[in-house]
Amino acid sequence: MTAPHRSSAQPSADRSLLLATRNAHKAEEFAVLLAPWTVDPLPEDVRLPPETGSTFAENALGKARAAAAASGRLAFGDDSGIQAAALDGAPGVRSARFAGETATDAENLEKLRAAVPPGGQLAYVCAIAIVDPSDGAEHVVEGRCGGRMADAPRGSGGFGYDPIFVADDDPAGRTMAQLRPEEKAAISHRGRAVSLLRAWLAERPDPQS
């Protein structure tokens, strides 16, 4: 069997995690959500597999496994997206490519707006997988946030579909893009998934010792 490609990067200090993503927006959110854990960026020489899974969990686990095998470090990956009831759960795992393989956030957003009327039921989903290569442990958690389609894009924060997603748990009816970072973290799919990840990490106090 061919040995896995290993990154030249060395393991960081204890209480650090390697994030298997090239998405800068996600990296910023995870760094805030997981503090005081340190979230380290993926070394350039680590190759991630394509997102070909049929579920968010499959895609997240593929990334985490690749990063852990290449680096020898405790690594996690995520896959997230939006589901529309009017589209039988689409775009789902194809959220980032809803309007095409090279589509921008704006193009994806406009395609969803054209397909789902204001007030249409939506849900954000985030699966996070974490892999510890020291003992082969793998764990997957999932967070969900229910919501509805906004009447028009609003707000300048966040990314992706945030300007048109009104969370059920925000009584003011603001979009995710209008929320302050700490407000978004308290109700978002990613924030909820991270809470479950923290619980798993708390049971493994010395994952790299």
Q: What are the pLDDT digits (tens) for 21-44?
A: 998 888 998 999 999 999 999 998
- Amino acid at residue number 70: A
CA distance 5 to 28: 27
Is residue 207 over pLDDT 50? no
Ligand-binding site membership of 5 (annotated): no
Q: Which two tokens stand for residue 40?
A: 């380290």
- Confirm or deny that 25 is annotated as ligand binding: yes
The length of the chain in residues reads 209
160 is in an annotated binding site: yes
pLDDT tens column, 86-97? 999 999 999 999
Q: How far apart are CA 122 and CA 10, in angstroms?
A: 41
The reply, when asked if residue 23 is annotated as ligand binding, is yes
Q: Would you please indicate which residues are annotated as catalytic (active-site) residues?
A: 79
Q: Give all domains of the chain, ordered by start, each with its CATH number.
A: 16-202 (3.90.950.10)
Please give the pLDDT value at position 11.
37
Judge contact between 157 and 114, C-beta under 8 A.
no
Q: What pTM value is reported for the model?
A: 0.88
Residue 206 annotated as part of some ligand binding site: no
